[in-house]
Structure 1
Amino acid sequence: MITLTSLSKIYRTDEIETVALENVNLIVRRGEFLSVMGPSGCGKSTLLNMMGLLDKPTTGTITINGTCTEGMKDKELAAFRNKTLGFVFQSFHLINSLNVIDNVELPLLYRRCSGSERRRLAREVLEKVGLSHRMNHFPAQLSGGQCQRVAVARAVIGNPEIILADEPTGNLDSRMGAEVMELLHRLNKEDGRTIVMVT
Structure 2
Amino acid sequence: MIRLHNVSKTYRTDKVETLALKDIDLAVERGEFVALMGPSGCGKSTLLNLIGLLDRPGRGSVEIDGAAIGSYGDKTVARLRNRTFGFVFQSFHLIPDLRVIDNVELPLLYRSLSGGERRKLAREALTRVGLGARMDHFPNQLSGGQQQRVAIARAIVGRPHVLLADEPTGNLDSKMGAEIMDLLLQLNAEGTTVVMVTHDEQEARRVGRIVRVFDGQLVGQEQLHAA
- Report the TM-score, using the length of structure 1 for normalisation: 0.98
SS of residue matched to 1:112: coil
Residue matched to 1:113: 113
- Report the TM-score, using the length of structure 2 for normalisation: 0.86
Residue 169 (structure 2) pairs with residue 153 (structure 1) = no
Shift in Å, 1:68:
1.2
2-structure distance, mates of 1:114, 1:14? 47
Greater per-residue helix proportion = 1
Matched residue count: 198
1-structure distance, mates of 2:5, 2:43? 16
Residue 178 (structure 2) pairs with residue 195 (structure 1) = no
Where does structure 2 lack aligned partners over 5 or more consecutive residues?
199-227
Deviations 1:59-89 (A, max 9, x none): 0100112221112111111111001111001
2-structure distance, mates of 1:109, 1:66? 28
1-structure distance, mates of 2:160, 2:42? 28
Question: Deviating runs (4+, > 4 A) in structure 1?
Answer: none
What letter matches 2:20 in structure 1? A
Residue 70 (structure 2) pairs with residue 53 (structure 1) = no
SS of residue matched to 1:127: helix
2-structure distance, mates of 1:136, 1:170? 26
Shift in Å, 1:125:
1.1
Residue matched to 1:76: 76
Matches within 5 A, 1:11-160: 11-160=11-160
Deviations 1:158-195 (A, max 9, x none): 011011000100000000011111000000002x0110
SS of residue matched to 2:149: helix
Shift in Å, 1:14:
2.3
Percent identical? 65
RMSD: 0.7
What letter matches 2:163 in structure 1? I
Residue matched to 1:170: 170
What letter matches 2:153 in structure 1? A
SS of residue matched to 1:36: strand
2-structure distance, mates of 1:145, 1:128? 15
2-structure distance, mates of 1:15, 1:183? 44
SS of residue matched to 1:14: coil
Deviations 1:93-131 (A, max 9, x none): 111110100000111111011111111111111111000
What letter matches 1:53 in structure 2? L
Residue matched to 1:7: 7
1-structure distance, mates of 2:104, 2:65? 25
